[in-house]
């Protein structure tokens, strides 16, 4: 194993596994998120048509207390996918929590390993690698990106999350301020003093002025440590992220919520909007990040293929699936208000949709393909396709609809 001798980050995650999780809660809920929901993996990396009868090898690199691990392992098991999921983390304390969560659920598709993700390839080659909230803590993040690329099977891809600077406004000043005050104290003492400092901050303090950062308020001691006392944590702007991927030989596929990176959402003036529209994608996304100011993390998908990948196309065989939203709730909103609405860290979005879109949502069950949905509605193809595209665009942009054959596969077994 590649050692990190006396590494402060390693010490941190032994003292404060993050995020704080209690295995007993597995009996009451499944934490679901992005990246790494299987619908999303299918949508962004396998054209929305992965053949789930084929074995699926996954690496969860820096798996921590197990959120992505448990989500993936449970959903793949529930749908009868033959999967092997390798959990890899250098923190023994985090692994114990993740193992306890898997045990409560009776999951048998996970192999637990303690080690450094720089050695990822020594655990095999993987169809999918999750790496969420980890790479920005490495001494040499580029080496981490390259190591993950080196562990991808042909045609496989990565779903990752790294910090972004503007939405974390206030964090880095506070990290530096705390280093000046409590660097040599024990982790527990650092947390105690950080809480004292937070209580007396002036209203002009950057963190106090950023209402969308609340890990320190709601994430317990581990949340506070992770946000404000981290010894190694670097954010990525959109251009920095794209440059990093390029250096690692990874090809960007999509952000998990592409709508957050569309500058047209943030520009009212038509002339300026038209200028934004003609920028290359990378510059458009960078512009959106700068204008909106609230992006705290970048959750994205990438592959090792050299050619840019088309995200899942709409065909008759497309199986639309909803994530994090119920079709009934969306349909009700459309009937009542003629809109779907949402909010991301203080920015509201709304899209007008015709009442027929609510009817279409009622026929979308994650198993039917579009041809079957169309037959239920009894519509002609052109009219049906136009309505589906109108519905799909905002739902995909905000991470609510993906294409995947997973549940269809499970229902046909
Ligand atoms: C912020 S936690 C994120 C955990 C998990 N991925 C999640 O999203 O909930 C970061 C994790 O990365 C692990 N980690 C950091 N550097 C690592 C490395 N080089 N190899 C393996 N794990 C590492 C830490 O031990 C910690 O559990």
| Domain residue ranges of the chain, discontinuous segments joined by + | 8-163+236-303, 167-228, 320-412
| Cα separation values, 173 from 18, 168, 227, Å | 22, 10, 11
What whole-number distance in Å separates Cα of residue 140 and Cα of residue 136? 9
Q: If you measure from the C-alpha of residue 329 to the centroid of ligand 1, how many angstroms do you get, rounded to a whole number?
A: 35
pLDDT at 139: 96
Mean pLDDT of 216-243: 91
Residues of the chain with pLDDT > 90, as a percent, come to: 87
* Residue 59 CB coordination number (10 Å): 30
CB of 62 closer than 6 angstroms to any ligand 1 atom: yes
Q: How does pLDDT run across 261-299, given as a tens digit for each residue?
A: 999 989 999 999 999 999 999 999 999 999 999 999 999
| Token pair 């024990």 in the structure block, residue | 186
pLDDT at 230: 94
Query: Length of the chain, please?
Result: 413
Record the tokens describing residue 5, joined without a space.
């001798």
CB of 276 closer than 6 angstroms to any ligand 1 atom: no
pLDDT at 48: 96
Q: If you measure from the C-alpha of residue 88 to the centroid of ligand 1, how many angstroms do you get, rounded to a whole number?
A: 9
Q: If you measure from the C-alpha of residue 117 to the centroid of ligand 1, how many angstroms do you get, rounded to a whole number?
A: 9
| Token pair 């002036």 in the structure block, residue | 202
Q: Residue 130 above 90 pLDDT?
A: yes
CB of 50 closer than 6 angstroms to any ligand 1 atom: no
pLDDT at 319: 98
Closest atom, ligand 1, to C-alpha of 2: 19
CB of 233 closer than 6 angstroms to any ligand 1 atom: no
Mean pLDDT of 298-303: 98
Q: How does pLDDT run across 147-185, given as a tens digit for each residue?
A: 999 999 999 999 999 999 999 999 999 999 999 999 999
Mean pLDDT of 13-22: 95
Mean pLDDT of 86-102: 98
Record the tokens describing residue 370, joined without a space.
């579009």
Nearest partner of 135 among 255, 266, 285, 248, judged by Cα = 248
Mutate to test the pocket of ligand 1, among 62, 171, 215, 231 (most ligand atoms within 8 A of CB): 62
CB of 94 closer than 6 angstroms to any ligand 1 atom: yes
Q: Residue 3 above 70 pLDDT?
A: no
Mean pLDDT of 248-258: 96
Q: How does pLDDT run across 131-151, given as a tens digit for each residue?
A: 999 999 999 999 999 999 999
pLDDT tier at 215, thresholds 50, 70, 90: low
Q: If you measure from the C-alpha of residue 182 to the centroid of ligand 1, how many angstroms do you get, rounded to a whole number?
A: 23
Mean pLDDT of 388-400: 93
CB of 90 closer than 6 angstroms to any ligand 1 atom: yes
Residues sharing a CB contact under 8 Å with residue 125, sequence separation 6 or more, in sequence order: 57, 151, 152, 153, 156
CB of 136 closer than 6 angstroms to any ligand 1 atom: no
| Token pair 């981290």 in the structure block, residue | 230
Mutate to test the pocket of ligand 1, among 89, 136, 228 (most ligand atoms within 8 A of CB): 89
pLDDT at 5: 53
Mean pLDDT of 44-52: 96
Mean pLDDT of the chain: 94
CB of 91 closer than 6 angstroms to any ligand 1 atom: yes
pLDDT at 165: 98
What whole-number distance in Å separates Cα of residue 356 and Cα of residue 175? 51
CB of 48 closer than 6 angstroms to any ligand 1 atom: no
Mutate to test the pocket of ligand 1, among 66, 94, 134, 139 (most ligand atoms within 8 A of CB): 134
Record the tokens describing residue 325, joined without a space.
């939203």
pTM tops 0.85, yes or no: yes
pLDDT at 190: 96
Q: Residue 223 above 80 pLDDT?
A: yes
Nearest partner of 266 among 242, 288, 246, judged by Cα = 288
CB of 42 closer than 6 angstroms to any ligand 1 atom: no
Say if CB 332 and CB 386 are below 8 A apart.
no
Nearest partner of 88 among 145, 147, 131, 26, judged by Cα = 131
What whole-number distance in Å separates Cα of residue 387 and Cα of residue 30? 33
Residues of the chain with pLDDT > 70, as a percent, come to: 98
Q: How does pLDDT run across 307-341, given as a tens digit for each residue?
A: 777 788 999 999 999 998 888 889 888 999 999 88
Q: How does pLDDT run across 334-373, given as a tens digit for each residue?
A: 999 999 888 889 998 888 999 999 999 999 999 999 999 9
Mutate to test the pocket of ligand 1, among 137, 219, 223, 225 (most ligand atoms within 8 A of CB): 137
pLDDT at 2: 56
pLDDT at 216: 62
What's the fold here for domain 8-163+236-303? Rossmann fold (3.40.50)
pLDDT tier at 50, thresholds 50, 70, 90: very high
CB of 379 closer than 6 angstroms to any ligand 1 atom: no
* Closest CA to ligand 1's atom 8: 132
């Amino acid at each position: 194993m590649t050692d990190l001798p006396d590494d402060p980050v390693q010490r941190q995650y032994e003292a404060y596994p993050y995020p704080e999780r209690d295995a007993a809660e597995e009996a009451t809920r499944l934490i679901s998120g992005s990246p790494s929901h299987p619908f999303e993996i299918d949508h962004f990396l396998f054209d929305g048509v992965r053949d789930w009868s084929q074995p699926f090898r996954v690496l969860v690199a820096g798996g921590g207390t197990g959120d992505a691990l448990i989500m993936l392992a449970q959903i793949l098991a529930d749908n009868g996918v033959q999967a092997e999921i390798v959990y890899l983390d250098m923190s023994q304390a985090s692994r114990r929590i993740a193992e306890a969560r898997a045990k409560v659920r009776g999951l048998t598709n996970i192999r637990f390993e303690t080690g450094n993700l720089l050695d990822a390839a020594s655990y095999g080659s993987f169809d999918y690698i999750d790496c969420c909230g980890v790479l920005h803590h490495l001494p040499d993040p580029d080496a981490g990106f390259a190591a993950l690329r080196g562990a991808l099977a042909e045609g496989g891809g990565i779903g990752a999350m790294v910090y972004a600077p503007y939405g974390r406004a206030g964090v880095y000043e506070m990290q530096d301020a705390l280093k000046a005050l409590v660097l040599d104290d024990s982790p527990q003492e650092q947390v105690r003093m950080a809480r004292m400092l937070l209580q007396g901050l002036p209203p002009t303090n950057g963190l106090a002025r950023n209402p969308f950062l609340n890990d320190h308020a709601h994430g317990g001691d581990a949340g506070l440590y992770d946000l404000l006392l981290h010894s190694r944590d670097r954010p990525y702007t959109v251009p920095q992220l794209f440059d990093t991927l390029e250096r690692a030989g990874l090809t960007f596929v999509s952000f998990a919520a592409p709508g957050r990176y569309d500058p047209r959402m943030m520009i009212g003036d038509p002339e300026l909007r038209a200028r934004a529209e003609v920028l290359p994608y990378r510059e458009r996304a960078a512009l959106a990040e700068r204008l909106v100011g609230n992006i705290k993390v970048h959750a994205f998908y990438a592959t090792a293929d050299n050619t840019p990948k088309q995200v899942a196309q709409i065909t008759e065989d497309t199986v639309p699936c909803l994530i994090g939203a119920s079709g009934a709730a969306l349909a009700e909103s459309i009937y009542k208000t003629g809109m779907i609405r949402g909010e991301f860290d203080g920015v509201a979005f709304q899209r007008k949709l015709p009442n027929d879109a609510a009817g279409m949502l009622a026929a979308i069950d994650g198993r039917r393909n579009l041809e079957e949905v169309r037959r239920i509605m009894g519509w002609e193809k052109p009219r049906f396709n136009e309505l589906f595209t109108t519905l799909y665009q905002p739902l995909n942009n905000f991470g609510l609809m993906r294409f995947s054959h997973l549940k269809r596969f499970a229902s046909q077994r």
